[in-house]
């Protein structure tokens, strides 16, 4: 008997659903398996210019016009106003000092603003994942993808021609489903996902990376920094500072603040284990308010805020397996490794992985060189990202150094977006395949040295001390 399906995808977040849609367009019989149901809360909410262009290219290449509007804020608003999103015009960073209110320095030395787009219409977005993931599942079903939710994959058996999955219905009397067989299995269920547990896979994490934890929630009634006097400058910033991925940076950690158009704000912290122990981060909401008490201006921003769900504590934030693929299986990048959301790297890494796996699916699952290339690139880029974020953590207490070192990300991201749009050869995520650039990223050096290392790829006017940490989008248009 032939396998029931060509492809089984475990996990119906945005990555699993988009891959399932591509495979269906390529004529595959696809089943999508989900442990919970939709709509449901998910983290990983902030897109980027590179994520947007990859999404556009996938939509065009595989005839998926329904997902293309998700690439830019303006088109999303016109096409899908009921699917919730937020406006992301750039990346905003404020350095907070323990026990002191924030005061904008005259030379802007305690902040960094980097525009990602010249207007709202072509801007990036924050994704309210409960809405977006639910939408993408429905689109996958409309393309003929079989879908089962509230199921768990309990075992996998590798046969000569297929993988056999033992799947049971969670919390239902009818119990187990018939055993499913598929020529290939992709785990899109995130860290510590189904295949990581069943194979099982070693997950040693990243070498020389600080141990970090996270605590996050969704809130309403979070004040805007633009309305608070301590953030006023008397000058017009390059974009509205709250219409961005806004970060409060402090010693040993940082906070994200992402706004959606329905009044909900996603906020959370990522901190070192030492600070997590001091805050007793496992206490959840109580730990959140202990953190706010240290930073008066952040506390003022959240003074009238109200959480609308339970806090989620992640006792270990970073994650990495030792392998990303095998003969009849692969892990999406989001199930292979996760580093930190500091620079919104999760979405583009996932979409790059989908793009590479789609080439393998196109070959009828036969071109094993594509699968090996996928696995090698996924692990290399995860390690490259982890080295970059580790150096960012090392500079959090020295904001001038942090702002200078962050230019590696913004230079690589703008270069990668430009080369993709022009059809030029890619150099890997964060220019990982550019040996000179990647080598320079491994070391935190003086701002002048960073500027010289970036100069060859710097198409966006970055690393310019005359701009005093405010970078508009003029050079990117």
pLDDT tens digits, 18-77: 999 999 999 999 999 999 999 999 999 999 999 999 999 999 999 999 999 999 999 999
Tell me the pLDDT band of 214, cut-offs 50, 70 and 90: very high
Q: Is the pLDDT of residue 176 over 80?
A: no
Helix (H) or strand (E) holding 215: strand 212-220
Query: Does residue 83 have a pLDDT over 90?
Result: yes
Return the pLDDT at 173: 58
pLDDT-derived band at 169 (thresholds 50, 70, 90) equals confident
Distance from C-alpha of 253 to C-alpha of 394, rounded to nearest angstrom: 10
Tell me: pLDDT of 453 over 70. Answer: yes
Angle between helices 129-142 and 14-25 in degrees, nearest 10: 20
Residue 476 has pLDDT above 50, yes or no: no
Predicted confidence (pLDDT) at residue 461 exceeds the cutoff of 50:
yes
216 bridge partner residues: 268, 312
Structure confidence at residue 171 (pLDDT): 65
Q: By C-alpha distance, which of 248, 256, 179 is closest to 217? A: 256
pLDDT at 233: 83
pLDDT at 426: 81
d(CA 222, CA 196): 38
Report how far residue 298's alpha carbon sits from residue 98's, in angstroms, rounded to the nearest whole number: 10
Which residues 6+ apart lie within 8 Å of 28 measured at CB? Answer: 5, 6, 7, 361
Extents of the domains making up the chain? 5-80+128-204+320-376, 85-127+210-314, 398-468
Residue 364 neighbours by CB under 8 Å, 6+ apart:
none
329 and 195 Cβ atoms separated by less than 8 Å = yes
Task: Assess whether the region 5-80+128-204+320-376 and the region 85-127+210-314 belong to the same CATH fold.
Answer: no
Coil, helix or strand at residue 171: coil
Condensed to tens digits (0 to 9), the pLDDT of residues 118-154 reads: 999 999 999 999 999 999 999 999 999 999 999 999 9
pLDDT for res 172:
63
Residue at token pair 């018939």 = 178
Residues 6+ apart with CB under 8 A from 255: 247, 248, 267, 268, 269, 291, 298
Residues above pLDDT 70, as percent of the chain: 98
The CA distance from 51 to 53, in Å, is 6
Q: Which CATH number fits domain 5-80+128-204+320-376: 3.40.920.10, 3.40.50.11860, 3.50.50.60, 3.40.50.720?
A: 3.50.50.60
The three-class DSSP label of residue 124 is strand
Helices and strands in the chain, H and E counts: 14, 21
pTM greater than 0.85 (yes/no) = yes
The pLDDT > 90 percentage for the chain reads 93
Upper half-sphere CA count for residue 405 (Cβ side, 13 Å) = 24
Closest CA to 359 of 350, 351, 370: 370
Split at pLDDT 50, 70, 90, the class of 3 is confident
The β-bridge partners of 268 are 216, 256
Q: Which two tokens stand for residue 3?
A: 């396998």
**pLDDT value at 292 more than 90:** yes
- With a CB cutoff of 8 Å and minimum separation 6, the contacts of 198 are 153, 155, 156
Dihedral sign for Cα atoms in the order 189, 192, 195, 196: positive
Half-sphere exposure of 42 (CA within 13 A, CB side): 29
Q: What local confidence, expressed as pLDDT, does residue 179 receive?
A: 86
Nearest to 87 by CA among 128, 50, 51: 128
Q: Does domain 85-127+210-314 have CATH number 1.10.340.30?
A: no
């Amino acid at each position: 008997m032939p396998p029931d399906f060509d492809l089984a995808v475990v996990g119906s977040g945005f990555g699993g659903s988009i891959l399932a849609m591509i495979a269906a367009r390529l004529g595959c019989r696809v089943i999508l398996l989900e442990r919970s149901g939709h709509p449901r809360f998910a983290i990983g909410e902030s897109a980027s210019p590179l994520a947007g262009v990859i999404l556009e290219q996938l939509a065009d290449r595989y005839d998926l016009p329904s997902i293309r509007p998700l690439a830019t804020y303006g088109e999303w608003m016109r096409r899908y106003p009921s699917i919730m999103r937020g406006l992301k015009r750039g990346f905003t960073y404020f350095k907070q000092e323990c026990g002191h209110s924030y005061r904008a320095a005259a030379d802007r030395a305690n902040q960094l603003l980097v525009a990602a787009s010249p207007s709202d219409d072509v801007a990036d977005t924050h994704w309210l994942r409960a809405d977006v993931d639910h939408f993408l599942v429905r689109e996958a079903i409309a393309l003929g993808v079989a879908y089962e939710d509230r199921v768990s994959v309990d075992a996998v058996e590798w046969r000569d021609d297929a993988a056999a999955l033992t799947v049971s219905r969670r919390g239902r009397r009818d119990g187990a489903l018939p055993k499913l067989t598929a020529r290939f299995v992709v785990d899109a269920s995130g860290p510590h996902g189904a295949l990581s547990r069943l194979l099982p896979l070693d997950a040693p994490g990243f070498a020389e990376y600080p141990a970090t934890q996270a605590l996050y929630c969704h809130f309403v009634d979070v004040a805007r920094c633009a309305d608070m006097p301590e953030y006023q400058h008397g000058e017009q910033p390059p974009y509205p500072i709250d219409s961005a991925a806004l970060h409060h940076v402090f010693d040993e950690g940082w906070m994200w603040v992402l706004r959606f158009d329905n009044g909900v704000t996603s906020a959370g912290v990522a901190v070192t284990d030492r600070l997590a122990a001091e805050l007793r981060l496992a206490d959840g909401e109580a730990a959140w308010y202990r953190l706010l008490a240290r930073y008066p201006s952040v506390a003022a921003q959240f003074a009238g805020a109200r959480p609308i769900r339970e806090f989620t504590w992640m006792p270990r934030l970073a994650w990495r397996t030792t392998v990303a693929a095998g003969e009849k299986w692969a892990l999406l990048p989001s199930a292979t490794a996760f580093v930190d959301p500091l620079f919104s790297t999760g979405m583009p890494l996932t979409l790059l992985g989908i793009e590479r796996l789609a080439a393998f699916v196109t070959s009828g699952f036969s071109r094993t060189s594509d699968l090996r290339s996928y696995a090698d690139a996924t692990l290399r880029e995860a390690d490259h990202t982890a080295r970059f974020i580790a150096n960012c953590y090392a500079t959090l207490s020295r904001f001038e150094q942090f702002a200078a070192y962050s230019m590696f990300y913004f230079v690589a991201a703008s270069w990668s977006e430009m080369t993709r749009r022009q059809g030029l050869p890619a150099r890997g995520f964060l220019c990982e395949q550019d040996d000179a650039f990647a080598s320079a990223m491994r070391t935190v050096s003086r701002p002048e040295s960073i500027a010289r290392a970036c100069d060859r790829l710097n198409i966006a006017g970055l690393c310019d001390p005359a701009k005093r940490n405010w970078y508009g989008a003029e050079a990117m248009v």
